[in-house]
Structure formats: structure tokens, C-alpha cells
């Protein structure tokens, strides 16, 4: 029999707040984190706005010498992991660390380090390239550094599946715990790709919003006037435990993680399947895995990127799965507030969904002003609201056709 798995710790570094309390309060206020780019000179670019993390100091979480040997995406990952461990009140000195694993992914990895070291190579020559360049660059280093920092020796891996990365990492961690291969997993994603090169690439694709004069209104999922996503940065890490382990140590339980499914569109490198078949199948199979009924699902945290195709096709996929029930669902995109955190987005959005289930309160989709006839569901426009939430889904869809959905259930002591 599969072991039951629960969520006991939440760690966040986001453009709207550091830590679960600041993050949730910003969500309740409907506060956006988008503004002018400050991390580099964006004047040459069509897009000059981003959702940047504010007031973050790596040395608040990591030893100064160690921090100098990490890229910003790893700083975020280690900081979020530390927050999650502390939130879970997980006393590592009392645990068997061979039974605690880490699956924390990144869609892009250390691109800031790449940019810096490439400039050094061109300007000063190969002898001046940092000897830690490769360990700072590669995507698995966030999970590796988390394991080193806390001495966690069970399964450790890094999934890279674009914007589905963190959801895949969480789902695969669920499977590890269900199989009994670990008792605790730190799972999630981290991203820090706000560089001129990354922006230039996305601008060349015409994927990002160019609403530079109104940055707070630029991320507008499902709205008729959406014109692209807003790139963000940050990290989300969850502590997942087997129910038996959590109860043994009398842990506080936020929610139960009950379902997961993943697949591939096998259609196009950046465009989703126009019929939404892969997204629909991911939701359908995750719900089947959870054992719940369609009528018990009350909330979907949508991938909702604020791009024309994604929002329309995700809406269609939801209607394929739920039929008439889709009209009774609440569907919102917290990317309207955080921007798109790429490989970290799924973890941050699952944490938002978890807090929604705990507080029985629906996060809003802000900047929803002009309805799109092709997007005709209840997107919790502009104002969050109290609501019964028994089961919640969190969707993530990534470049390359990656689709992933996880399902959580409200925790009630029995």
C-alpha cells in the first residue's frame, strides 16, 4: 500500500514577500510584485519590467564564504529550505538524515553566473574565470547545497522541465515517500534568471509583456488585454513527510498531498497542444490518483501565465476535465501577483494553494479588467474571498510540452 504523505513545512522567497506570513498577507491584499528592472540596465530591451525579490540578503541564511561560491538561484533555494525546515520544526539532530532527501529543481540554473563569467573570459582571459564557475552554474547545485548545508543523505535529484520543474520535483518526491524510500523530502524549485541575456531571449520570442509604463498591471492572466508573461525570481520549498513520521513527532500538518500526474504534449517546443489534451490528461490522472471525485475539487491554482495561448488552452482543458462542473470551480492565477517564477513557480503556487486550503480562502487573479470570451470561468477576479476548499489542484505547464498537476486535500484530524 502507498504511504500517505503530508505537508508540514513551507519556505518561500518571492517578489511579494519572504516567508509564508509575508507572502500570504500580500496574497490577501492582492498585492503585485512587478516593477521596473533594477538588477541590470534594461534600456535596450522591449521589456523593462520584472518581478524582483526585494530585501534579500543571502548571508541572513548562509555563511558568507559559502554564499560567495553560489549563484543567486542557489541562495534562494537554500534560504527557502532553511525556512521550510524551521517552519516544520524538524529537529534534524534527532532525525536519521539518511532518510531525508532533497529534490529541488531549476528551469534555467545559474545564468547570472554564466553571464558574469563569460564577460570575464572575454575581457580578462581564461585565467580569471572563477574556479567555482561550473559548480555555481549547474542546475543541480541548489539541491546539492541544501543537502550539504543540512546533512541530508537520502535521494537527491534535480528535475529540469522548464516551468513544470518544481511541480515535477514535488510529485516525484511524493512517489519516493509513498514507496517508503525516505521518511522526509524537501521538494520544490528555485530560479534567478533576471539577466539581460535571458530577457533578450524571451523578448526575441515576443513572450513577455511590454507594458513598461504600467508594470503593476502587466501580469493579467485570463484578461482580454494580456500581452505576455512577466518574468520573476524566487524559490519555494516544502517539507513533505509520511503521515506516520509526521504523527510520530507530533508535527503540525498543513494539508495532505494526495495526487500527481505528469505527461508531455509532444507537440511543439514552446506552444502547448492547441486542444489542451496533455494538460487535461494531467489533471484527470492526478485527480484519479488522489481518489477524489470531480465534484469535491473546489479550487485550481492555474498555470495562468498571462500569455494568449496558455490561458485560453488551460481554460479549455479545465472544461474538458470538469464539464459543467467547471462553472462551479474557482480558478485563479497567483502569477498575476508574483510574476512567472519559471522553474520555481509550481512550488510557490502549491504553497499558495496549501495556505488557501488551510485558511479556506481563495487567492485572487488581480488585473482582471476585461473578460476574454475564450476564458470564461470564475477566475476570482481582483478580490480574494472565503470559500470551502476540500481539494485543490495546482497546474504547471512548461516549454517542451511538459505538463504536471498535483492535488492536495484539506487536513482534518480523524
Instruction: Compute the C-alpha angle 209/214/215, nearest 5°.
Output: 60
Among residues 163, 203, 292, 375, the one annotated as catalytic is 163
- Mean pLDDT by 10-residue block, N- to C-terminus, for the chain (414 residues)? 95 98 98 98 98 98 97 98 98 98 98 97 98 98 98 98 98 98 98 98 97 98 98 98 98 98 97 96 98 98 97 98 97 98 98 98 98 97 98 98 98 78
Sign of torsion, CA 91 72 124 204?
positive
What does DSSP assign to residue 376? Answer: -
Among residues 292, 303, 375, 402, the one annotated as catalytic is 303
- The grid coordinates of residue 407 equal 492535488
Q: Residue 345 phi/psi, 5° resolution?
A: -60, -40
- The grid coordinates of residue 38 equal 533594477
Give the β-pairing of 17-18 and 184-191. unpaired
Q: Is 183 helix (H, G, I), strand (E, B) or coil?
A: coil
Which pLDDT score is estimated for 1? 77
From the number of C-beta atoms within 10 Å of its C-beta (0-12, 13-18, 19+), residue 324 rates as: exposed
Which pLDDT score is estimated for 258? 98
Among residues 75, 245, 292, 340, the one annotated as catalytic is 340
CATH number of 1-398: 3.40.47.10
What does DSSP assign to residue 272? Answer: P
Which pLDDT score is estimated for 381? 98
Q: Residue 365 phi/psi, 5° resolution?
A: -100, 105
Task: Mark 52-86 as b/e (b = at least 16 C-beta within 10 Å).
Answer: bbeebebeebbeeebbebbbbbbbbbbbbbbbbbe
Which pLDDT score is estimated for 143? 98
Asked if 340 is an active-site residue, the reply is yes
**Which of 358, 364, 353 shows the shortest CA–CA distance to 167?**
353
pTM here?
A: 0.97
Asked if 292 is an active-site residue, the reply is no
Domain ranges for the chain: 1-398
**Which of 165, 156, 159, 168 shows the shortest CA–CA distance to 99?**
156
Which pLDDT score is estimated for 414? 56
Amino acid at each position: 500500500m502507498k504511504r500517505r504523505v503530508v505537508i508540514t513545512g513551507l519556505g518561500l522567497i518571492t517578489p511579494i514577500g519572504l516567508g509564508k506570513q509575508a507572502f500570504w498577507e500580500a496574497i490577501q491584499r492582492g498585492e503585485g510584485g512587478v516593477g521596473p528592472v533594477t538588477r541590470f540596465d534594461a534600456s535596450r530591451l522591449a521589456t523593462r519590467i520584472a518581478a524582483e525579490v526585494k530585501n534579500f540578503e543571502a548571508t541572513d541564511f548562509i555563511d558568507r564564504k559559502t554564499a560567495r561560491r553560489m549563484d543567486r538561484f542557489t541562495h534562494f533555494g537554500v534560504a527557502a529550505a532553511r525556512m521550510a525546515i524551521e517552519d516544520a520544526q524538524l529537529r534534524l539532530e534527532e532525525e536519521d538524515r539518511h532518510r531525508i532527501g532533497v529534490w529541488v529543481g531549476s528551469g534555467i540554473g545559474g545564468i547570472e553566473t554564466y553571464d558574469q563569467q563569460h564577460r570575464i573570459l572575454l575581457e580578462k582571459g581564461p585565467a580569471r574565470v572563477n574556479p567555482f564557475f561550473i559548480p555555481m552554474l549547474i542546475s543541480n547545485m541548489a539541491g546539492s547545497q541544501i543537502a550539504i548545508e543540512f546533512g541530508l543523505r537520502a535521494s537527491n535529484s534535480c528535475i529540469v522541465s522548464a516551468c513544470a520543474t518544481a511541480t515535477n520535483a514535488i510529485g516525484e518526491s511524493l512517489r519516493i515517500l509513498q514507496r517508503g524510500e525516505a521518511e522526509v523530502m524537501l521538494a520544490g524549485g528555485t530560479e534567478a534568471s533576471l539577466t539581460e541575456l535571458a530577457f533578450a531571449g524571451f523578448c526575441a520570442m515576443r513572450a513577455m509583456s511590454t507594458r513598461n509604463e504600467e508594470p503593476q498591471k502587466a501580469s493579467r492572466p485570463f484578461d482580454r488585454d494580456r500581452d505576455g508573461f512577466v518574468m520573476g525570481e524566487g524559490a519555494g520549498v516544502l517539507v513533505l513527510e509520511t503521515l506516520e513520521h509526521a504523527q510520530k513527532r507530533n508535527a503540525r500538518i498543513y494539508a495532505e498531498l494526495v495526487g500527481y500526474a505528469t505527461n508531455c504534449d509532444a507537440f511543439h517546443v514552446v506552444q502547448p497542444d492547441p486542444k489542451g489534451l496533455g494538460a487535461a490528461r494531467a489533471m484527470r490522472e492526478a485527480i484519479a490518483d488522489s481518489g477524489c471525485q470531480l465534484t469535491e475539487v473546489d479550487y485550481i491554482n492555474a498555470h495562468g501565465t498571462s500569455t494568449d495561448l496558455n490561458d485560453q488552452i488551460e481554460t479549455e482543458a479545465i472544461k474538458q476535465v470538469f464539464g459543467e462542473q467547471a462553472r462551479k470551480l474557482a480558478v485563479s492565477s497567483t502569477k498575476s501577483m508574483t510574476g512567472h517564477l519559471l522553474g520555481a513557480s509550481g512550488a510557490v503556487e502549491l504553497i499558495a494553494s496549501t495556505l488557501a486550503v488551510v485558511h479556506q480562502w481563495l487567492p485572487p487573479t488581480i488585473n482582471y479588467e476585461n473578460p476574454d470570451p475564450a476564458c470564461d470561468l470564475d477566475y476570482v477576479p481582483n478580490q480574494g474571498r472565503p470559500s470551502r476548499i476540500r481539494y485543490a489542484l495546482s497546474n504547471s505547464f512548461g516549454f517542451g510540452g511538459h505538463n504536471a498537476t498535483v492535488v492536495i486535500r484539506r487536513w482534518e484530524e480523524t
